Amino acid sequence: MATWLSPAKINHLASDPERCTPSISGITIDSRRPFVPEHHTQLYFTPIYGDLHFEHRLRYNQLFGCRINEYIMMLEADLVDRLLVPLKALPQVASDPELSSAIDTMIDEEKRHYQNFALLNRTCRPDVYPAGRDRVFSKLPLLTKSMFWTAGLLASRLAFSLWYLMALEESSMAFARDASHKRQTETLGELDGSFVQAHVDHMKDEARHVHLDAILVDLCINRQPALRRRACAWLFKQMLPGALVPRRSGSGVKVIRQLVKDMPELQDREEQMISAVLQLRNNAQYQESLFNRHIMPMTFSVFDDTPELNNLGSTLEGYDRQ
């Protein structure tokens, strides 16, 4: 069982500028370098990846790095406020001033993260992200928008999306550690230092946020009646595959379409690349790379402490991947 920081300790750490994510300014990016470790991209897990020329793999890597930034932005723009604001009004949360203060700080920090990653993407690709256009790959389809809207609407009674929030936040920390410790990629050279540093800095706030997520899971889910816990677990399990299974309307396919737009010589391979990504729905190695105990030890500790989720395991075995 993990030991969680108290709300007072969380607030104390948040008051130290050295432990907080700074705002990005004056950043420069080397367009000759990859942005992310290759195994954090989708095509890496397909046979077609090794057949692509160096410049095609490099551009794909850079675009996928922007997509990763957008997913962090999506979480912060589409879920955090919608989830945390109603939870803050619950008696078991509102009765603790330190906890309420920690939530307010987290909401403010997530807004800063959004601006940081929007600026990072605009610096990487000003043509793709002109002023006023922050998200290209993570524009939500109606079904996902409805899912997030429902998560907010139900938050005060069925706070199942807290598990989702914690998993994605801890996943972003794992990505930052991996990129920081493995600067040399397999085939594309050394990662761009500014891109990596932005994610390392982002980890400072997220290291506190996952503790706050765990506290809220305990208060708003685990201490609820068994029927509510079961309902939360069922809803979470319905939500989870949508984040892990590539779809034709999803961000991974949009990255490929942008790659072809950047490099028209790949036009005759576009559908082949899209098909390869869609086949990852049946690729256990790919799905486990996104969701496992190694990259999310704290989140899985929370799963283990929840009777309705303690059989979740370290893979997606048993989930519908169709």
Mean pLDDT for all residues in the chain: 90
pLDDT of residue 81: 82
Q: What is the pLDDT of residues 183-237, one digit of tens each?
A: 999 999 999 999 999 999 999 999 999 999 999 999 999 998 999 999 989 888 8
SS3 190: strand
> Taking the chain, what is the end-to-end CA distance rounded to the nearest angstrom?
34
- The tokens for 247 are 């779809």
**CATH superfamily label, 53-242+285-304:** Ribonucleotide Reductase, subunit A (1.10.620.20)
pLDDT of residue 149: 62
| CA separation for the pair 194, 201 (Å, rounded) | 10
- The tokens for 91 are 């008696």
On the question of pLDDT at 166 being above 50, the answer is yes
pLDDT of residue 57: 98
**Residue spans per domain, the chain:** 53-242+285-304
Tell me the C-alpha to C-alpha distance, in Å, between residue 303 and each of 151, 170, 230, 308, 311.
19, 13, 13, 8, 8
Contacts 24+ apart (CB under 8 A), 182-188: 182/37, 185/34, 185/37, 185/38, 185/61, 186/38, 186/39, 187/38, 187/54, 187/57, 188/33, 188/34, 188/38, 188/54, 188/57, 188/58, 188/61
Q: Is the separation of the CB atoms in 79 and 114 below 8 Å?
A: no
Q: What is the pLDDT of residues 231-260, one digit of tens each?
A: 989 888 887 877 778 888 889 999 999 999
| CA separation for the pair 100, 102 (Å, rounded) | 5
Q: Is the separation of the CB atoms in 65 and 36 below 8 Å?
A: yes
Read off the pTM. Answer: 0.92
pLDDT of residue 1: 59
Q: Is the separation of the CB atoms in 198 and 121 below 8 Å?
A: no
Q: What is the pLDDT of residues 259-272, one digit of tens each?
A: 999 999 999 999 99
- The tokens for 304 are 């283990």
pLDDT of residue 322: 32
Q: What is the pLDDT of residues 54-77, one digit of tens each?
A: 999 999 999 999 999 999 998 878
| CA separation for the pair 213, 108 (Å, rounded) | 15
CA angle 26/174/296 to nearest 5° reads 145
Question: 142: pLDDT confidence band, cut at 50, 70 and 90?
Answer: low
| CA separation for the pair 27, 124 (Å, rounded) | 10
Tell me the C-alpha to C-alpha distance, in Å, between residue 301 and each of 45, 172, 310.
28, 17, 9
The H or E element containing residue 114 is helix 97-124
The residues, any chain, with a CB within 8 Å of residue 213's CB and separated by 6 or more, are: 162, 165, 166, 169, 302
* Segment among 90-94, 140-144, 281-285 with least mean pLDDT: 140-144
